[in-house]
Amino acid sequence: MSIRSALATLIPSSPRIVTFICGALAALVTSLPLFVTCSFWVMCFNDLPGFGDKFRRLVTAGPLWFYRWFAKPRIMMSIFHRVRLRRFKKPEDVFEPGCAPVSLLVDLEGTLTEFSPPLDSVKEAIKVFDRVASQSGLHLSHVHYVTNANLSALLADCPPDLSGRIHVSAHKPCFVPVKGFQQPGTVVMGDQYLTDGLLAWRYGLEFALVESAVRRPAWPRLQFLIGRVLSPVFFRKMANAEPVHGKAQKPAPE
């Protein structure tokens, strides 16, 4: 596999970025001796011992800083603490007996709708899901929709009952849910391990993975495959009948 084809697989939608990165890499290879020479000329012997350590610290500092920032909401949890994962065939199955989430963060693209959906189909999907949630006894203020897609047009003519409940261009998994949604009992529902799943992992919430009914484009498909490989590190699978909080809920009075 060449550099270009590897980059093109990673960033399929931006051939210009791939071209630029390839050009910069080729130029960097040729200029590398001079960059190294310049870095040595500003050093003296006393800077040299531990040069490898300094370089290693520099290289690891970035990922470490990112991890600390990313995992900051997991204040009381160990790095090895895995969150619960349930798999559902349809989004509505999250309300099946024994699950009963206290609040829900729901993904739109790929979960409730197809990819790059028209605005009307998004509104329709939200309406249907809100109805199911209400029928299951969940107050609508406890159901928020979070999508990474840029659906700002959706906010423009948003019905009053939806205002404040839709978060577009949310940058999951870095999205910060409102306070009430950071508590145990909240379920993050989505079709991607690396966005929805990691959001759940950051806040120690339960993750409901919905099998996408539509065929994913190449990039989301690759994301899903990578996420599936990494999932045992972050999630532990649960049987669907097991309740959200790990203990049996009281049966509702007849």
> 197: which 2 tokens?
């799943």
Nearer of residues 6 and 155 to other proteins, judged by Cβ: 6
Nearer of residues 35 and 65 to other proteins, judged by Cβ: 35
Q: How far apart are CA 34 and CA 4, in angstroms?
A: 25
Nearer of residues 31 and 183 to other proteins, judged by Cβ: 31
- Least gap, CB of 57 to other proteins (angstroms): 17
Nearer of residues 17 and 213 to other proteins, judged by Cβ: 17
Helices (H) and strands (E) in the chain, counts: 7, 7
Q: Is position 11 an interface residue for other proteins (rule: CB under 8 A)?
A: no
Q: Is position 10 an interface residue for other proteins (rule: CB under 8 A)?
A: no
Q: Is position 45 an interface residue for other proteins (rule: CB under 8 A)?
A: yes
Q: Is 241 helix (H, G, I), strand (E, B) or coil?
A: coil
| Contact region with other proteins (CB under 8 A), list: 38-46, 107-115, 121-129, 169-177 | 38-46
Q: Is position 38 an interface residue for other proteins (rule: CB under 8 A)?
A: yes
Q: Looking only at residues 17 through 36 of this chain, which bind other proteins when binding is defined by CB under 8 A?
A: 19-20, 22-24, 26-36
- Least gap, CB of 48 to other proteins (angstroms): 5
Q: Is position 53 an interface residue for other proteins (rule: CB under 8 A)?
A: no
Which position has the token pair 């349809």?
90
172-175 contacts, C-beta under 8 A, 24 or more apart? 172/107, 172/146, 172/148, 172/196, 172/198, 172/199, 173/70, 173/197, 173/198, 173/199, 173/201, 173/202, 174/70, 175/146, 175/199
> Hey, which bits of 66-176 come out as E strands?
83-88, 103-107, 143-146, 166-167
- Least gap, CB of 31 to other proteins (angstroms): 4
Those residues with Cβ within 8 angstroms of residue 37's Cβ, 6 or more apart along the chain or in another chain = none
Of 9, 13, 37, 220, the residue at the interface with other proteins (CB under 8 A) is 37
Nearer of residues 1 and 248 to other proteins, judged by Cβ: 1
β-strand partners of 166:
145
Distance, C-alpha 223 to centroid of its chain: 10
Count of chain residues binding other proteins (CB under 8 A): 32
Q: Is position 160 an interface residue for other proteins (rule: CB under 8 A)?
A: no
In terms of Cα–Cα distance, which of 227, 133, 116 is closest to 172?
227
Q: Is position 55 an interface residue for other proteins (rule: CB under 8 A)?
A: no
Q: Is position 79 an interface residue for other proteins (rule: CB under 8 A)?
A: no
Nearer of residues 28 and 128 to other proteins, judged by Cβ: 28
Binding residues (CB under 8 A) for other proteins: these are 1-4, 19-20, 22-24, 26-38, 40-49
